[in-house]
Structure 1
């Protein structure tokens, strides 16, 4: 069949936009979706009323305030919300930066939603879950091979929780060795994820931040200045969020080790590294992978995600419990670790994501994993060269040496047109694209961070570049068009930014909203 080419690659997009209330506002007293049958008398005679057995302090004093709504209105409500949402299954999603919204094979969803998975309960006897324990143990073995670490825990529910667990291990390790009070500093870098500093700070550490040299690498001379007998650990991403890979990282870990510190590695995003480099050879004592980034499981906003935490043998006694072990005949849960930091999440992690990551690795094999890294780097460098052709765009620091992502800058475009990266972000939504700036503070002026991963074709990348080029040209010819965006999307401009900074204006739950509404009414 002859392929018909579009005249241009900028997509004519208009997102469905519903003035959809939240579900509590759709409540209509007495309306029902399902009316459950009454409990049979025989059941009541056998087990009681189901409430009296509960301690008084655990019983509700009033019924939960749930919306009453019919089935068809529930369906309509959630379908409308889904039409107002973009994602990797709908659009070219290379603008998510370090969150890596790449393609997740749909077949893996069939595995994860199988009744064999959904009916699992974490309190089941080990004998009844040998299959899931085998999958977990095998994923542990794969992660060991990929990273060079000696043991993995899948308990952390996100990358940030894995970083918190690693900071906790650093604390416990030095406490056990009698140096906990002396070693009170953690060293990190400005272009590493903010969670590295924040989780260490929660553990009570003073944070020392390394800034980049003129090429964008962490400054090794500054590291030599700040490392001391007070150094508890060093935590870094490599490549950092600029996409620049520090090939001298082993020199950094040696400096910290010589001072008695622990080195731990943020490998949340390892798309450009699989089968090429490992944490062990770089000198790290610990690392973690986000299964919801590199290993193609759902992100779920740090909810049912997974931060796979690996350690060298000397740190195994400090891992969260339980670990899955195999004696050659049977899989079992080991809760007996001498210096375990304890649980960082309930039970054993998220088995559905463990299964998805296991299936993804098995589907690719060793050669396929390396292909993932090579294609991700190829895609990123093609995108890098195309972006730098756009008027007003640049990529600070060393030229050409980028791995799986790049933090670009619209600094020139902003100076010449007044259009900011936030303006362009909203305008990109008019073409069906997601676009990410960077973590705050904006060390790179007017930043935007793109990461194509291995999932996208040249045609996908060209479409994304065409949209950026179109908007950049708009910025020079009609800047108000960009500044007033969006026009075709459900997102909107935030006029009063105090909403982000003032907790008095936040309503995380419906009950909180009602309380604040009532409080305002009383004041009036």
Structure 2
């Protein structure tokens, strides 16, 4: 067997090899049978790979080199804001006073951490235009769920909990919006977009009523378009007795320009792992703080950070609170990174973030519009959506375009979302990319569009340069093989 370190650890394992050398233990051995019930004891040793330290290091270094991330290439994943994470944030999060504390230690010995979180909450209040912030939720979807529990607590306090059972969600919304509403116990009502990709005001008016608990919306929306009727939309929902929820996934477009509070929203969540440059992907951890207007403060998660003179403390005497939604007080290390980012950028820097993000998106949109269908004519904010319908007529689907981009060294944009755009390509360049990168990406998509006309097989057969070609995605999803099984020699 040629050792290329593309093999599984099990395949290069040899009995007796060790990646460690430990001294003899001075602790008296204990028979497991004396401390564990019999049904938990193995009848034979676990079949674990046996390798040297060097083999282990080469294996995992090789896997790491195959990973694609924002530090290895352009990552224009629409709706995800895959911006560069400055390393100063990592350095600060690793300060011993932050990295070596424990959530159960006395609060008097964690005053610096509590002060940081209190100041982060104040900064996020300014960013959102809200009156109170909780850092507890671990991600955007959990923030949505917590916000909807606040909706429910508010309506119950007003004696309308049984009556207001419906959450309105636009047909272009993130999939987590209707999912979070269902998990929170609500019925979902879809609001159709109008011809320009925004919330249909007439459709909204027809949908609201005494059973409306609220509307979930992001602005700009998932098409990258600003909801120009947002003030009227807020008035319609409020007049019906409902509340407005702001999905903060697209907040990278409005920093320093507008706030959800000014737009009329009552509850908001932010994705610190998007807008505020903390790492995300690979399962987390994330952070999805929620903010509320003053009349909803009593229902916020508990415990809360309060300042008493120069002393910071956690309080849990909040009888109307929805309770704890995350162990301890959220993902502290992520919050430290976001705090570092905000303090580094300052107000002017955060405003420039949005200005550059919007500029980059509109630049790419202008370069690509002659080669791909553009479903909506107005300028976009931080992201935009193209359609591959023109290429579909030539036998090339959006998925083919995404696969072909891999040959150019680019990660694919989000594809087939939002669902209201056929053959959608959702592109978000973020503010951290250089013009040369944007141009190289645009050039690649333009070449793919030309190949779709002259040599479609080149596109439909992509990728051509990767070790793994096209997979049977249906079989992989329905019959995944997730356990290594050693091949047996039956000869």
Superposition TM-score, scaled by structure 2 size: 0.92
Most deviating of 431-440 and 79-88: 431-440
Q: 1:86 aligns with which of 68, 78, 82?
A: 68
Residues 58 and 284 of structure 1: CA distance in aligned 2, closer, same or farther (over 3 Å): farther
1:61 alignment counterpart: 41
Q: Confirm whether residue 206 of structure 1 aligns to residue 187 of structure 2.
A: yes
Figure out how many residues of one structure are paired with residues of the other and give that number: 483
2:390 alignment counterpart: 412
2:463 alignment counterpart: 486
Q: How far does residue 441 in structure 1 lie from its aligned partner after superposition?
A: 6.9
2:297 alignment counterpart: 316
Q: Confirm whether residue 217 of structure 1 aligns to residue 203 of structure 2.
A: no
Q: Confirm whether residue 428 of structure 1 aligns to residue 405 of structure 2.
A: yes
Q: Conserved in 2, the CA contact under 8 Å of 1:325 and 1:332?
A: yes
1:249 alignment counterpart: 230
Distance 1:421 1:451 in 2: 16
Q: How far does residue 440 in structure 1 lie from its aligned partner after superposition?
A: 5.3
Q: 1:127 aligns with which of 108, 118, 122?
A: 108
Distance 2:236 2:218 in 1: 17
Q: How far does residue 117 in structure 1 lie from its aligned partner after superposition?
A: 3.1
2:94 alignment counterpart: 113
Q: Conserved in 2, the CA contact under 8 Å of 1:157 and 1:302?
A: no
2:380 alignment counterpart: 402
Q: Which runs of 5+ in 1 are unaligned?
A: 1-17
Distance 2:39 2:326 in 1: 25
Distance 1:412 1:184 in 2: 42
Distance 2:388 2:54 in 1: 47
Q: Conserved in 1, the CA contact under 8 Å of 2:78 and 2:426?
A: yes
Q: Conserved in 1, the CA contact under 8 Å of 2:387 and 2:423?
A: yes
Q: Deviations over 1:323-349 (max 9, x none)?
A: 222112111112222222223222111
Q: Which runs of 5+ in 2 are unaligned?
A: none
Q: Confirm whether residue 70 of structure 1 aligns to residue 56 of structure 2.
A: no
Q: Deviations over 1:267-305 (max 9, x none)?
A: 122111001110111111110110111100001345211
Distance 1:314 1:368 in 2: 31
1:150 alignment counterpart: 131
Distance 1:51 1:506 in 2: 35
Distance 1:465 1:439 in 2: 19
Distance 1:124 1:491 in 2: 49
Residues 52 and 294 of structure 1: CA distance in aligned 2, closer, same or farther (over 3 Å): farther
Alignment of 1:162-181 (within 5 A): 162-181=143-162
Distance 1:58 1:142 in 2: 55
Q: How far does residue 138 in structure 1 lie from its aligned partner after superposition?
A: 0.8
Q: 2:6 aligns with which of 6, 20, 23?
A: 20
Q: How far does residue 34 in structure 1 lie from its aligned partner after superposition?
A: 2.4
Distance 1:313 1:346 in 2: 25
Q: How far does residue 446 in structure 1 lie from its aligned partner after superposition?
A: 1.0
Q: Deviations over 1:208-233 (max 9, x none)?
A: 11121111111010111010111111
1:300 alignment counterpart: 281
Q: Conserved in 1, the CA contact under 8 Å of 2:172 and 2:419?
A: no
Q: Conserved in 1, the CA contact under 8 Å of 2:33 and 2:41?
A: no
Q: 2:255 aligns with which of 256, 274, 292?
A: 274
Residues 36 and 418 of structure 1: CA distance in aligned 2, closer, same or farther (over 3 Å): same
Q: Deviations over 1:71-130 (max 9, x none)?
A: 22221121111221111111122x211111111111211222333333222212112211
Residues 221 and 197 of structure 1: CA distance in aligned 2, closer, same or farther (over 3 Å): same
Distance 2:205 2:90 in 1: 48
2:437 alignment counterpart: 460
Q: Confirm whether residue 34 of structure 1 aligns to residue 34 of structure 2.
A: no
1:189 alignment counterpart: 170
Distance 1:497 1:182 in 2: 42
Residues 438 and 316 of structure 1: CA distance in aligned 2, closer, same or farther (over 3 Å): farther
Q: How far does residue 66 in structure 1 lie from its aligned partner after superposition?
A: 5.3
Q: 2:419 aligns with which of 437, 442, 447?
A: 442
Please report the RMSD computed on the Cα atoms of aligned residues, expressed in angstroms.
Answer: 2.6
Q: How far does residue 65 in structure 1 lie from its aligned partner after superposition?
A: 6.6
Q: What SS does structure 2 have at the residue aligned with 1:103? A: coil
Superposition TM-score, scaled by structure 1 size: 0.86
Distance 1:145 1:53 in 2: 59
Most deviating of 325-334 and 488-497: 488-497
Distance 2:297 2:221 in 1: 27
Q: Deviations over 1:498-520 (max 9, x none)?
A: 433x3xx245x64xx66xx99xx
Most deviating of 313-322 and 426-435: 313-322
Q: Conserved in 1, the CA contact under 8 Å of 2:222 and 2:418?
A: no
Q: Deviations over 1:224-246 (max 9, x none)?
A: 10101111111011111110101
Distance 2:8 2:222 in 1: 36
Q: What SS does structure 2 have at the residue aligned with 1:186? A: strand
Q: How far does residue 52 in structure 1 lie from its aligned partner after superposition?
A: 11
Q: How far does residue 64 in structure 1 lie from its aligned partner after superposition?
A: 7.0
Q: Conserved in 1, the CA contact under 8 Å of 2:417 and 2:425?
A: no
Alignment of 1:307-346 (within 5 A): 307-346=288-327
Q: 2:140 aligns with which of 146, 159, 184?
A: 159
